[in-house]
């Protein structure tokens, strides 16, 4: 997503707060987007619903363009801080495997 596309989405939908963890400023969102691009993973740490955690990774085509994503979601009791890295590794590997099949 380009900065212009991101600005258009923010303009149209805003950045509404769902929980105390929701990203609600453009600056924080841009910072999170940079981190996601660098790490190849995105985390929802109770940002939409308290008690729910999600981990996602992009699926790319032969041109390295993001065409889809894969994610897992679960209660924070199951996807807890101790298991976060374990699940993240598996989500990233699944995305890489699917991406390789699309090439």
Cβ atoms of 40 and 66 closer than 8 Å: no
The pLDDT tens digits for 7-34 are: 999 999 999 999 999 999 999 999 999 9
Distance, C-alpha 22 to centroid of its chain: 13
> Which residues form the domain of 81?
3-102
Mean pLDDT (the chain, rounded):
94
The per-residue pLDDT for 41 is 96
Q: At what angle do helices 26-39 and 3-13 cross, to 10 degrees?
A: 140
Beta-sheet pairing, 66-75 with 42-45: unpaired
What CATH number did the domain enclosing 67 receive?
Answer: 3.30.450.40
Entry pTM: 0.86
Number of structural domains in the chain: 1
Question: What is the per-residue burial (b if ≥16 Cβ within 10 Å, else e) of 26-38?
Answer: eeeeeeeeeeeee
């Amino acid at each position: 997503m380009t900065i212009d596309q991101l600005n258009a989405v923010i303009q149209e939908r805003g950045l509404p707060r769902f929980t105390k963890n929701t990203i609600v400023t453009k600056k924080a969102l841009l910072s999170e987007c940079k981190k996601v691009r660098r790490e190849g993973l995105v985390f929802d740490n109770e940002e939409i619903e308290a008690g729910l955690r999600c981990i996602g990774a992009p699926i790319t085509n032969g041109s390295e363009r993001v065409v889809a994503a894969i994610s897992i979601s679960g209660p924070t009791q199951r996807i807890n801080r101790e298991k976060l890295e374990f699940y993240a590794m598996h989500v990233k590997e699944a995305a890489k495997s699917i991406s390789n099949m699309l090439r």
